[in-house]
Structure 1
Amino acid sequence: MISFSQFLQKLAPDASNILSSRLKKSDYCSLDLSINNTDLNFEMLQFSSLLETYIWNRMKSKNAQVAYGGYLEPRGIYQRSIHFNQQDPDNERNIHLGMDLWIEAETPIFTPLDAEVHSFRNNLNYGDYGPTIILKHEVEGIKFYTLYGHLSLTSISSLEVGQCFKKGALIATLGDATVNGDYPPHLHFQIIKDIGEFKGDYPGVSSKNDLTFFAQNCPDPNLLLNIY
């Protein structure tokens, strides 16, 4: 039996682009928002407008339309919100579990595979996802889920649980900092093997103590997206 990661790789060649199908691999550039990036200063991590300028300048310097990155990346930006922080450093949630795709607000988002709406919610904590959609997929008898965070409010205004989408269908648009948890516009995309009892939400950031479980339950999104 193949592993879940191998299964995702098997699906990748036939999966649709979650952004525009016109985008090529050369239109993407990597983005490091980790604690190891010395170009990021305190103010950038506190004010989304300054971080947005940094990201857009990075994209412009690489002649890119989209910046990507973040899987298992330890980040300092979560220290601004009590939603992620605890006094014990080992329980502080600062390791990112999805892939971020940084691009303009109102960018259309598409489902990579046939899907059913599992759940959705506007997650309103400071630094949280904002409007979020979770899709359920079943391929060759295997069920798994994909999460789309930092969306526009209109993305969930008329959505229904159980609603079905064909591969490549429009499911949402991106939100801006006023609704997406106060971040520069981007999509948080995450694959979830077993969602448990979560609805409309699932941890997108892990502590060191919980990382072994979450890294196994939420494999690298690039296995399916095949961006790099």
Structure 2
Amino acid sequence: MITTNIDDWKKQLALTKIHPLVAFDPGTMRLLLMGFTNENQALTADVLEDTSAFSGYVSQTLADADAHFGIGGYNEHRTVYKRSRVFDAAEGQEPRSVHLGIDIWG
């Protein structure tokens, strides 16, 4: 049964076995919060327009921070969305720029 009532959802969640998405030990592994907004000056047009360059940026950022995983935030205004026409809007509408999930890199 699907519900939109938060209290019902919490009760259902309590009865659900939840498994981790990735094997992560917060006592021994480092997690890095990664930002993909306009404030991130490393996200140049060259990086944003080239999937390989963007992947390299993410990998190098994790390595530089000695992080096992990086996470990208929910509800973040993402510069990276400018690289794809998928996020363009119809005439008279705003293009999508807000991230609606949580990314995990590792």
Interval containing the TM-score (normalised by the shorter chain):
0.7 to 0.9
Alignment-derived partner of residue 61 in structure 1: 64
Higher relative CO (CA 8 A, sep ≥ 6), structure 1 or 2? 2
Identity %: 22
Cα drift, residue 3 of structure 1: 3.4
Q: Please give the alpha-carbon distance, in whole angstroms, between the structure 2 residues aligned to 1:48 and 1:71.
A: 21
Amino acid at match of 2:25: K
Q: CA deviation at 1:82?
A: 2.2
SS of the equivalent of 1:49 reads helix
Q: What's 1:70 paired with?
A: 73
Distance 2:72 2:80 in 1: 14
Following TM superposition, by how much is the alpha carbon of 1:15 offset from its aligned partner in structure 2, in angstroms?
2.8
Which secondary structure does the structure 1 equivalent of 2:37 belong to? Answer: coil
1:85 aligns with 2:88: yes
- For the residues of structure 1 that align with 2:86 and 2:58, how far apart are their CA atoms? 24
Q: How does 1:18-37 map to 2 (within 5 A)?
A: 18-20=21-23, 23-25=24-26, 26-37=29-40
- Which entry has the higher C-alpha Rg, 1 or 2? 2
Q: Secondary structure at the match of 2:57?
A: helix
Higher share in strand: 1
Instruction: Find runs of 4+ consecutive structure 1 residues off by over 3 angstroms.
Output: none
Q: 1:43 aligns with which of 42, 46, 60?
A: 46
The answer for unaligned runs of 5 or more in structure 1 is: 104-228
Query: 1:29: Cα distance to partner?
Result: 1.1
- In structure 2, the residue matched to 1:134 is none
Pairwise CA distance, 1:16:
1.9
Alignment of 1:100 with 2:100, yes or no, is no
Residue 44 of structure 1 deviates from its aligned partner by 0.7
TM-score normalised per structure 2: 0.73
Q: CA deviation at 1:63?
A: 1.2
1:52 aligns with 2:55: yes
The Cα offsets for residues 71-117 of structure 1, whole Å up to 9 and x where unpaired, read as 111112222322211244x52111000000012xxxxxxxxxxxxxx
Matches within 5 A, 1:147-186: none
Q: In 1, Cα distance between the equivalents of 2:38 and 2:10?
A: 32
RMSD, matched Cα: 2.4
By how many angstroms is 1:51 displaced? 1.1
